[in-house]
Amino acid sequence: MPRIKTDILVIGAGSGGLSVAAGASQMGASVVLLEGHKMGGDCLNYGCVPSKALIAAADAAWDQSHTAQFGVADQIPQVDYGAAMQHVSDVIARIAPVDSQERFEGLGVQVIRAYGRFVSPTEVQAGETVITARRIVIATGSSPLVPPIPGLDRVPYLTNETLFDLRDRPEHLLIIGGGPIGMEMAQAHVRLGCKVTVIEGAKALGKDDPEMAGVVLDALRAEGVEIAEDALAAEIRGQAGAIEVEVKDGRLFKGSHLLMAVGRKADTDKLDLEVAGIETTKTGIKVDDSLRTTNRRAYAIGDIAGGLQFTHVAGYHAGVVIRSILFGLPSKARTGHIPWATYTDPELAQVGLTEAQARDQYRDRVEVVRFDYDENDRAIAQRNTTGSIKVMVIRGRPVGATIVGAQAGELIGLWALALANNLKMSQIAAMVAPYPTIGEINKRAAGVYFSPRLFDNPMIKQVVGFVQKWLP
């Protein structure tokens, strides 16, 4: 049986694993990378990339039918669903070379296309090869969670791993799960000409600020998405083209296709973690603040580490473990500065504490400042005035920001920077944003924080009056 010794073994070629492999190899470590399925992992093949490509196609269709407000006649879009899905495939193919085996071999990484399983605390077998490594990074990610709903095993259903294989447009898409994936795909499909019903057991977008999430849900309902909340699926029945979902309170929903979007589960089943002395939790692998597992030679990053499940988190984790593994320096992962976004229209983005979390933690010490899109000149010019920003502030420093509206996913980056570096609101206010841009919303929010301190302060007025009286 072939044997390999290496400095670093990376299991999983998704976002986090690829970042570790590329960085470590280019800085002089010997690296072996295992991938039993597709290079690029879920993000490239089934998640972020294809979903945003489909959203772009849906937005193009929507824009065609909503131009009259600009003096251009509305047009009924002629949607070719199969061509839209081919666009998705083309986008994946365009990006794939960046994550390809050939590219990483060119960087000096030894790539083995096989799943890995532990055969000892320091050894992993992949196919017929056994790899011994000084440090092991587990980055196998997650896969769609499919709950044991009665009848589901007898009905054809889609997940994000099969949805983008469709070429015929669903007549009526039922989506179980009202989280970000469910809501993004709901809006995309209704804009592409499908009927869509979202069936959510609790509250749609329930992990987000309810006020701001409500703006998104109102927009989706206005476009024709049926959103059923407090609708826990109790039984699924039917066949391809005729599927029924009955919920616990007796409501019945009928459609032609079913998409399961209720969450994700960590991919630990192929690893034989117990052989390596690696403990797991309900959400993934047990790790400490440095992302080290209960096996001191092994780390877990990304979705499998059991925390926030975002591609950018996996990339961030990669930087944390590289610092520790390559340089022997203390390095800890934090979560307070990690942003996320839901790419509906309007977009919804968050970093740090929500208003409810801030009030719960800081009580009456928190100040919540807000600024609405309908006061931004660029938003008005583009007739895109739905939305607002809320910033939670403690003693002059932001501790969280929530944005709903156009380009919210882009705007939230400034507040992520502020939280990562403990910036003050005065530093945000000192920024000069080009006019007219949507980005001015961030600066104006900081201005709202200082306005009462400057304009409603009697002492300030007295000082100004004194200076004006005596200034030569």
Q: Is the dihedral of CA 215, 220, 225, 231 positive or negative?
A: negative
Asked whether residue 116 is marked as a ligand-binding residue, the answer is: yes
Residues of the chain falling short of pLDDT 50: none
3-class DSSP assignment, residue 363: helix
Asked if residues 348 and 213 have their Cβ atoms less than 8 Å apart, the reply is yes
Asked whether residue 16 is marked as a ligand-binding residue, the answer is: no
Per-residue pLDDT tens over the stretch 418-447? 999 999 999 999 999 999 999 999 999 999
Other residues' Cβ atoms within 10 Å of the Cβ of residue 428: 21
Asked whether residue 424 is marked as a ligand-binding residue, the answer is: no
Asked whether residue 120 is marked as a ligand-binding residue, the answer is: no
Asked whether residue 179 is marked as a ligand-binding residue, the answer is: yes
Per-residue pLDDT tens over the stretch 75-123? 999 999 999 999 999 999 999 999 999 999 999 999 999 999 999 999 9
Q: How far apart are CA 92 and CA 455, in angstroms?
A: 53
Cα-based distances in Å from 384 to 228, 415, 438: 27, 22, 10
Q: How far apart are CA 14 and CA 104, in angstroms?
A: 12
Asked whether residue 50 is marked as a ligand-binding residue, the answer is: no
Q: Output the DSSP codes for 373-430.
A: GGG-HHHHHTT----EEEEEEETTEEEEEEEEETTHHHHHHHHHHHHHTT--HHHHHT
C-alpha neighbours within 13 Å on the C-beta side of residue 103: 13
Asked whether residue 17 is marked as a ligand-binding residue, the answer is: no
Other residues' Cβ atoms within 10 Å of the Cβ of residue 91: 18
Asked whether residue 200 is marked as a ligand-binding residue, the answer is: yes
Asked whether residue 263 is marked as a ligand-binding residue, the answer is: yes
Domains, the chain: 3-39+100-144+265-327 (3.50.50.60), 152-263 (3.50.50.60), 339-454 (3.30.390.30)
Alpha-carbon Rg for the chain, nearest whole angstrom, is 25
Q: What is the structure's pLDDT at 460?
A: 72
Q: Is the dihedral of CA 453, 457, 459, 463 positive or negative?
A: positive
CA 262, 187, 162 angle in degrees (round to 5)? Answer: 50
379-387: long-range contacts (C-beta < 8 A, 24 or more apart)?
379/405, 379/406, 379/438, 379/441, 381/436, 382/406, 383/69, 383/70, 386/215, 386/219, 386/346, 387/215, 387/346
The neighbouring-strand residues paired with 341 are 349
Of how many residues is the chain composed?
472
Cα-based distances in Å from 66 to 63, 71, 73, 443: 5, 10, 8, 30
Asked whether residue 270 is marked as a ligand-binding residue, the answer is: no
**Region for residue 242 given its phi and psi (left: phi exceeds 0; alpha: psi -120 to 50; beta: otherwise):** beta
Q: What is the structure's pLDDT at 454?
A: 66
Percent of the chain with pLDDT over 90: 94
Asked whether residue 36 is marked as a ligand-binding residue, the answer is: no
Asked whether residue 5 is marked as a ligand-binding residue, the answer is: no
Q: Is 196 exposed, middle or buried (0-12, 13-18, 19+ CB in 10 A)?
A: buried
Asked whether residue 180 is marked as a ligand-binding residue, the answer is: yes
Name the nearest CA neighbour of 268 among 254, 258, 282, 255: 282
Other residues' Cβ atoms within 10 Å of the Cβ of residue 384: 18
Asked whether residue 181 is marked as a ligand-binding residue, the answer is: yes
